[in-house]
Structure 1
Amino acid sequence: MNLFVIGQGGREHSMIMKLAESEKVDRIYAAPGNGGISDAAECVDIDELDIDGLIDFAGKKQIDLTIVGPENPLLAGIADRFHEAGLAVFAPGKDAALIEGSKQYAKVFMEENGIPTAAYASFTDAAEAKFYIEKQGAPIVVKADGLAAGKGVIVARTVQEAISAVDDILVNKAFSEAGKSVVIEECLNGEEFSLMAFVHGTNVFPMLPARDHKRAYDDDLGPNTGGMGAYAPAKDISSETLAFAAENVLQKAADGLAGAGRPFTGILYAGMIMTNDGPKVIEFNARFGDPETQIVLPLLKNDLLQVILDVLEGKDPALQWEDKSCAGVVLASKGYPGSYKKGVALPEINSDGDTFVIHAGTRKTDKGIVSDGGRVLFAGAKGKDVADASEATYKWLAQHVHTEDFFYRTDIGQ
């Protein structure tokens, strides 16, 4: 089969590395790809939002299946357009992807379908939002309604911090169109975890629970990012909790979307928190998580392409997992998630037998691989447990990363 993967980050590189293991794969193309993906697939210079260009390419290259990585093309309706062109695609349609594209829609959807989540209110008027915050008190969570690359969520420890967040989103338009409205939620306490599933209609096949670290710095300090590291499985999440989440979160979401005429096909991601009242949903994503994908897929025993084909055909893919743990750490550009330099030369990237390296924001040039984003590389390893995997990862980073232009957290999985 000829495959086409849309995207350019670490998630897509990880997907491509796993897909390339399949004996069913002939060629893999990626649009636009990155400096590492170009070693595993043929990169084509088409923007992930140039849907006409992507459809044209898929038709000319006789692509058998397109897999969409990032969220922006999903909300732009890429899956709907591919279906209209008679092209097979593994991704949710625009209506189904709204569960990620609008936090307000997601909260209403969860209420209507009995999915446990935090109490909330939505506002377009800054004064009303501030009045609500003053009445509720802090800590409290302020979210930009739309897509903001993981950065539109502010966990405010004080009322003033929450009010400033409202000003940033609604008044100063810090997140542009994503900040037309804000969702303000109660602040939930507990351990967070991510649970992804392969979904087609009302068929739901959960993966291993993972834990992502969103804050930029050690000890969960600093601003929220797209994710600075992750590990799987999150073994503190009991089998009973996972069964509850599978039935009352993932299955209810799939059933609810199908019942609303928005059937979901693709990867459904639930970001959850384990509270004293049980697990509650923080957010839904309509695609593979990043960086969770990079530590979940290496533990999957199955042929990833065969899993996707089985799911699309309505079959149970019979997911099997290695009895190991996987942990990984993001190497980020200094200044991320704020402003940062691009085009910085990277050290020679040589993974050893114990570790693997995923490219995220990189670009291949005549002079070698250079940085091209905030999150640049993802170093990871498998081990007998999370501590073992984490130790191998940090050993590799200490040996290979010697530059003042990048940083990474030193406490992932510890």
Structure 2
Amino acid sequence: MNILLIGSGGREHALAWKLAASPMLTRLYAAPGNPGIAREAELVALDIADHPAVAAFCREKSIELVVVGPEAPLVAGLADDLRREGVAVFGPSAAAAQLEGSKGFTKDLCARHGIPTGAYERFNNAPKAKAYLRHVGAPIVIKADGLAAGKGVTVAMTLNEAIDAVDACFEGAYGEAGAEVVIEEFLEGEEASFFCLCDGETALPFGTAQDHKRVGEGDTGPNTGGMGAYSPASVMTPAIIEQTMREIIEPTMKGLAEAGTPFVGVLYAGLMLTRDGPKLIEYNVRFGDPECQVLMLRLKDDLLVLLKAAADGQLGHMSARWRDEAALTVVMAAKGYPGTPQKGAVIAGLDSASDESVEIFHAGTVESDGTIVANGGRVLNVTALGPSVGEARDRAYAAVDKIDWPDGFCRRDIGWREIERENKCS
């Protein structure tokens, strides 16, 4: 099979690495890709916002499946336009992608179908939003309604923080994404990530993980796109997974199908495990980044077979098998992230840092004169397998320490919750 992978980050490098291992693969193309993806795929200079050009490439190269990595092309309707041209796509329609493209859309869906989530209100102007904040007080959660590259959410512990977050949204800090604001109840508990592959009717459970959003150790500092992750998350017990499927995933799938917008792709539920059970924090309509990286290392089955089955509506007869080992990834970011990252520094030592249990996925790199150069905020995902989360952590940080990049940094406590649990059980 000829496959086209859309995207250029660490998530897409992990997908490319796993797809390249499939015996069914004839040729893997990636647009636009990155230097790491170039080891697994042929990079093509496609403008992914030019949907007719993408469709023309698919016809020219006899592409049998397009795998869309990031959320923005899905919200923009790339999957719809390709399907109209007869191209199979792993990824939801623009209508179904509103689950991530609009926080308010998802909250309204939850309200209609009795899906457990935090109480909320929607606002399209600052005075009304601030009046509501003064009425309910803090802690409270402020979210830009649209896509904001993981930076449009503020967990405000004080009223002043909440008011500042509302002002940031309506004053343009997140562009059009902040034209509407969702204000949500602050939920207490432990967060976890749960994934399902979906074919419009069937939702196949596809792993658990926990990520680390805050930039600083001890979960301090501003939110980021994610500083690390591990899988599996032991807090997602079989009973909680069953409850999540019954109360959250299945009503979502049914609600979207009834609305004429069945969901095809990967459904990523960000959950808060409260005293009252799992509650939905948000949906993403693509693999998490960096959660995808740890899932790909643990997946035993052929990813291409599973994604094609989802695109063809054939997941009802499929299953997903996982390695017994845990996987953990550490994000190496450029100094200044999540603000203005420092770009242009040479990164050395990548080959010596990898071994049979460690994969390094490129997230924000370019190649210049034969060297790898930092070109983003989150730059590398150093990912390791181990018999436990603690041992996977040790292998990942040993690899980090072999990488020569003075302008990079990472958190040194990825997996700390799970490691504490492992230590208590040992």
**2:420 maps to what in 1?**
none
Q: 1:149 corresponds to which letter in structure 2?
A: A
- 2:385 aligned with 1:376, yes or no? no
* Aligned twin of 1:267: 266
Is 1:324 aligned to 2:313, yes or no?
A: no
Q: Are 1:164 and 2:170 matched, yes or no?
A: no
Is residue 68 from structure 1 mapped to residue 71 from structure 2 by the alignment? Answer: no
Q: For 1:77, give the aligned amino acid.
A: G
Alignment of 1:140-151 (within 5 A): 140-151=140-151
Q: Which residue of 1 aligns with 2:408?
A: 406
Within-5 A mapping of 1:7-22:
7-22=7-22
CA displacement, residues 291-328 of structure 1 (integer Å, 9 cap, x when unaligned): 11000121111100111223324242221111111001
Once residues 339 and 320 of structure 2 are traced to their aligned partners in structure 1, the CA distance between those partners, rounded to angstroms, is 39
Distance 1:48 1:392 in 2: 36
Instruction: Find the aligned partners of 2:97 and 2:317 in 1 and give their Cα distance.
Output: 23
Identify the residue that residue 101 of structure 2 maps to in structure 1.
101
Aligned partner of residue 322 in structure 1, secondary structure: coil
Q: Which amino acid aligns with 2:19?
A: L
Comparing 346-355 with 193-202, which one deviates more in the overlay?
346-355
1:337-367, CA deviations, whole angstroms, 9 ceiling, x for partnerless residues?
A: 1111222211231211221100001112224
The 5 A counterparts of 1:10-409 are 10-170=10-170, 172-311=171-310, 312-314=312-314, 315-350=316-351, 351-403=354-406, 405-409=407-411
Whether the 8 Å CA contact 1:202–1:251 is kept in 2: the answer is no
**How far apart, CA to CA, are the structure 1 residues paired with 2:296 and 2:134?**
44
Q: CA deviation at 1:165?
A: 0.5
Does the 8 Å contact 1:46/1:54 carry over to 2? yes
Which residue number corresponds to residue 421 of structure 2?
Answer: none
Which deviations, in whole Å up to 9, do the C-alpha atoms of 1:45-93 show, x marking residues without a partner? Answer: 1233222221121111111111100000001100110011111111111
Q: State the alpha-carbon separation in 2 of the partners of residues 367 and 55 from structure 1.
A: 32
Residue 423 of structure 2 is matched in structure 1 by none
CA distance in 2, matches of 1:385, 1:208: 16
Amino acid at match of 1:185: E
Q: Is the 8 A contact 1:49 1:72 kept in 2?
A: no
CA contact (8 A) 1:29 1:43 kept: yes
Rounded Cα–Cα distance in structure 1 between residues aligned with 2:363 and 2:266: 20
Q: 1:242 and 1:63 mapped to 2: Cα distance? A: 35
Q: Number of matched residues?
A: 412
Helix, strand or coil at the partner of 1:21: coil
1:401 to partner: Cα distance: 3.9
After superposition, the C-alpha distances for 1:16-42 in whole angstroms (9 at most, x for unaligned) are 100111111011000000111111101
TM-score (norm 1): 0.98
What is the rounded CA distance, in whole Å, between the counterparts of 2:363 and 2:261 in structure 1? 31
| Amino acid across the alignment from 1:224 | N
CA contact 2:115–2:251 (8 Å) conserved in 1: yes
Whole-Å Cα distance in 1 between the matches of residues 344 and 40 of structure 2?
22
Deviations 1:193-242 (A, max 9, x none): 00011001120001121001111110111111111100000012221111
Contact 2:306 2:318 in 1 (8 A): yes
**Alpha-carbon contact 1:196-1:208 (below 8 Å) kept:** yes
TM-score normalised according to structure 2 size: 0.95
Counterpart of 2:356 in structure 1: which amino acid?
G
Secondary structure (helix, strand or coil) at the match of 1:178 reads helix
Q: Is the 2:213–2:219 Cα contact (8 Å) retained in structure 1?
A: yes
Q: Report the secondary structure of 1:293's partner residue.
A: helix
What RMSD in Å do the two structures reach over aligned CA positions?
1.0
Poorly superposed stretches of 4+, deviation over 6 Å: none
Residue 422 of structure 2 is matched in structure 1 by none
Q: Which AA in structure 2 matches 1:180?
A: A
Return 5+ residue gaps in structure 1 as ranges. Answer: none
CA distance in 2, matches of 1:283, 1:216: 20
Letter aligned with residue 257 of structure 2? A
Which whole-Å CA distance do the structure 1 matches of 2:244 and 2:404 have between them?
39
Q: Which amino acid aligns with 2:235?
A: D
Note the residue ranges of structure 2 that are not aligned, 5 or more in a row.
417-426
Partner SS for 1:257: helix
Q: Report the secondary structure of 1:309's partner residue.
A: helix
Q: Distance in 1 between matches of 2:320 and 2:405?
A: 39
> 2:142 touches 2:154 (CA, 8 Å); kept in 1?
yes
- Find the residue that maps to 1:95 and give its secondary structure: coil
CA distance in 2, matches of 1:90, 1:309: 7
Q: Is the 8 A contact 2:90 2:308 kept in 1?
A: no
Cα distance between partner residues in 1 of 2:103 and 2:343: 31
Q: Report the alpha carbon displacement of residue 399 of structure 1 after superposing the two structures with TM.
A: 2.3
| d(CA) in 2 for partners of 1:297, 1:247 | 25
